[in-house]
Amino acid sequence: MKRRDLIKLIGGAAAWPAFAIAQRDNRKRLVGLIAAFNEKEVMPLVAAFRARMQELGWIEGQNIVFDVRATGGDYAKLDTEAGNLVSASPDVIVAQGTPGLVATRKSTRTIPVVFTQVADPVGQRLIDSLSHPGGNATGLTNFEFSFGGNGLSCYTRWIRELHTPRS
């Protein structure tokens, strides 16, 4: 093998990952959103999410597509919609609330899931821990039970001060 041919081979091998990434980036990403809320309740959240994604360069219809599933509190329908969403093979699923995450976890353990407003996901065994969730789900919790005592003591102190006569 000539030196020039070896350099071409090495250069081509080095450029292949960049070429593959460029090809892959041309496809539209599918983001599934699932919530137990009704359409009217969930759409402001979806609109804010879409706006932020657009700020980050993700333009709906160009490089990203959103598939929103809202079930109006019907948990049986939530399980069905989660299964249908997983069947669509999204790149990521955004699960709103504990019911959305529970339904999604029943349907997939491989598609990445980002959750919001889930109360005690560790205690419910939906993730391993907040710092290292493990599996395919990660996200934000709206309440950490270990802080509950602090909130209760602040509340009782506030009540006590409110009812203490001032001198």
pLDDT in tens, the chain (167 residues): 555 554 555 655 555 555 455 455 678 999 999 999 988 888 998 999 999 999 999 999 999 999 999 999 898 899 999 999 999 999 999 999 999 999 999 999 999 999 988 888 888 889 998 888 989 998 888 765 555 555 455 444 554 555 555 55
What is 102-151 written as a DSSP string? HHHHHH-SSS-EEEES-S-TTTTTSSS-SSS--TTEEE--S--GGGHHHH
Amino acid at 23: Q
> Is residue 89 one of the residues assigned to a domain?
yes
- Return the CATH number at 88: 3.40.50.2300
> Is residue 167 one of the residues assigned to a domain?
no
Cα–Cα distance, 81 to 78 (Å, whole number): 5
Host domain of residue 125? 27-149
Q: How many domains does the chain contain in total?
A: 1
Query: Are 41 and 63 spatial neighbours (Cβ–Cβ below 8 Å)?
Result: no
Per-residue pLDDT, 129: 86
Per-residue pLDDT, 12: 57
Looking only at the bridges linking them, the beta strands covering 92-96 and 64-70 are: unpaired
> Is residue 137 one of the residues assigned to a domain?
yes
> Is residue 164 one of the residues assigned to a domain?
no
Per-residue pLDDT, 124: 86
> Is residue 162 one of the residues assigned to a domain?
no
